[in-house]
Structure 1
Amino acid sequence: MPRPSKDPRSRHQQIAADLRARILTKDLPPGTKLPSTAQLQEEYGVPNQTVQNAVAVLKREGYADSAPGKGVFVRERPQRVVAPAAFVTPSPPGESYPWLSEAERRGLKGSIELLHVAEVVPPVQVRLAFGLGDEDVAVLRKQVMQLDEEPAELVYSYYPVDLARGTPLAEKRRIKGGTPRALGDMGFNPHEFVDQVSTRPPTPEEFVALELPPDISILRTFRVVYAEGRRPIEATVMVKAGHMYELQYHHVLTPPAV
């Protein structure tokens, strides 16, 4: 297949992509006024309407807002940084699920809507992680995580039936302290986890559930959590709006032995 010699997107999409990248790298930090229409016309060599269409894309995606009589400014909402390791271990007794605690720490109101709990035949990726056959089932807990009453993440968490059946994991109700606490109370504390991160266009379900603007990809994380002995105890698909999040991994490296 021949490699494309130029960007096939329309000019306004190209300009929006360029400005979006400058916003995400902080070259246009929150609160900064975007270059004027005349400046963008000159910079990109395009007519007024093309610039207006590009700026409309940024507004629709939540990157920019108009201030009447003053111009268009980068929104004061920075991209959210997620540290994946922070949400695997159980919360201390008496404390809420770490996702909610982290939201509060950042000055946001976090909430969780539990959509569905059932025994289902899981996707192949989950069956492989659990060592299940084609017709075997797992317990699914499907949730939407919200920040300030806006959908932030669509989560599908699966649990082996022999572990979850007859426990709070299989009940359609919120679990105090979250599912890591429930697993810990059952004697299955997380020992390690593996993340696979990818991006792709959203499915119709994801587009609606996350209230996404057009032409935005999702950030998909597939996580398998293991207890001691590398027993898989949870497999989770986490879907976030790709333009709103960055993943942050922090590892302390051990010097090689001399």
Structure 2
Amino acid sequence: MTVRRASGTESADHRSLHERIAADLRDEIMSGDLAPGAKVPSTARLKERFDASSATIQKALQLLKDEGLVVGRAGAAVTVREHRQRTMRPAAYTAPVRAGERFRWLAEAEKHGGTARSRLLDVAEAVPPADVRALLGLADGETALLRRQILTIDGEPVEVVASYYPLDIAGGTAMAERRAIRGGTPTLLAELGFPPRVSVDRVSARIPTQEQAAALELPGNLPVLRTLRVVHTDGDRPVEATVMVKAGHLYELQYEFTPDTPPN
């Protein structure tokens, strides 16, 4: 199997055949051409389509089973697993909540079905990654308050979240305590006089680190979606920078934009 460059020259896809077949089927599942509950084409049809052996087709299907995208057993029909792909709307859970309301991420996740939970992994002073330091305006080696958690749906890990806060804002507050914050940190920041005004996301696809792969229980070498978010309060001051990592084959992000009105 080859792919053609814009110049007309051909470049070989160096992945093994079963990985390439899995990639094509994965794309059809993610795009909805193979909808939840639909039967995957039979081994005979896939053999003809991809000019591959039965063993190669079975290896490709096993990859998709390991990823949780399809279910089935040898000799039986393989079907696309229900409710595996989730569309997350980041803008829906960045604002503070009213008294008594749950953290918006949990409420939004449960709109798709399932039970969402947040588990706090760590609270400590730490030196953030370089891109986070740059967003918070920290010097090399300067520390911030780190709150790291893992988010789950029906007990399955879906996102690892590492949030960093300037110490002059977070130090000595509930954020520095190893406990959950009702309503989430956006609500607490607003109560402290630092309401979130503007959030900026940078999203990239990456191969997961060892720690991320283990935390998210990822099969194989699948990419993750990494979102780097900075939250600004009044005066354009950065008050939070967060790195969020989720499985790239199970989630997509939806952003909504309103076109600017052209100047008169």
Does the pair score TM above 0.5?
A: yes
- Equivalent of residue 65 in structure 2, options 59, 65, 90: 59
Q: Say which SS state the counterpart of residue 196 (structure 1) adopts.
A: strand
8 Å Cα contact 2:93/2:108 also seen in 1: no
Partners of 1:4 and 1:171 in 2: CA distance: 57
Per-residue Cα deviation, 1:174-196 (whole angstroms, up to 9, x for no partner): 11111111101101111101111
Stretch moving more, 31-40 or 4-13: 4-13
8 Å Cα contact 1:111/1:145 also seen in 2: yes
TM-score (norm 2): 0.93
Partners of 2:226 and 2:57 in 1: CA distance: 31
* Deviation of the 1:122 alpha carbon: 1.3
Structure 2, unmatched stretches of 5+, are 1-8
Q: Say which SS state the counterpart of residue 219 (structure 2) adopts.
A: coil
1:210 aligns with 2:220: no
- Equivalent of residue 176 in structure 1, options 170, 176, 182: 182
* Deviation of the 1:108 alpha carbon: 1.5
* Deviation of the 1:68 alpha carbon: 7.6
- Equivalent of residue 151 in structure 2, options 140, 145, 149: 145
Superposition pairs for residues 25-104 of structure 1, below 5 Å? 25-66=31-72, 70-104=76-110
Per-residue Cα deviation, 1:45-96 (whole angstroms, up to 9, x for no partner): 1111000101101111111101686400111124111111112111121101
Letter in 2 for 1:249: Y
Letter in 2 for 1:205: E
TM-score (norm 1): 0.96
Structure 1, unmatched stretches of 5+, are none
- Equivalent of residue 204 in structure 2, options 181, 187, 198: 198
Aligned match of 1:15: 21
Partners of 2:148 and 2:97 in 1: CA distance: 20
Letter in 2 for 1:31: G
Cα distance 1:54–1:171, how it changes in 2: closer, same or farther (>3 A)? same
Identical-pair percentage: 50
Q: Say which SS state the counterpart of residue 18 (structure 2) adopts.
A: helix
Per-residue Cα deviation, 1:3-38 (whole angstroms, up to 9, x for no partner): 971100000000000111111111111111111111
Partners of 1:9 and 1:163 in 2: CA distance: 49
Q: Say which SS state the counterpart of residue 71 (structure 1) adopts.
A: coil
1:224 aligns with 2:230: yes
Q: Say which SS state the counterpart of residue 5 (structure 1) adopts.
A: strand
Aligned residue-pair number: 256
8 Å Cα contact 1:192/1:226 also seen in 2: yes
Partners of 1:44 and 1:69 in 2: CA distance: 19
Letter in 2 for 1:11: L
Per-residue Cα deviation, 1:128-164 (whole angstroms, up to 9, x for no partner): 1121111211000000001111111000000000000
* Deviation of the 1:218 alpha carbon: 0.7
Aligned match of 1:109: 115
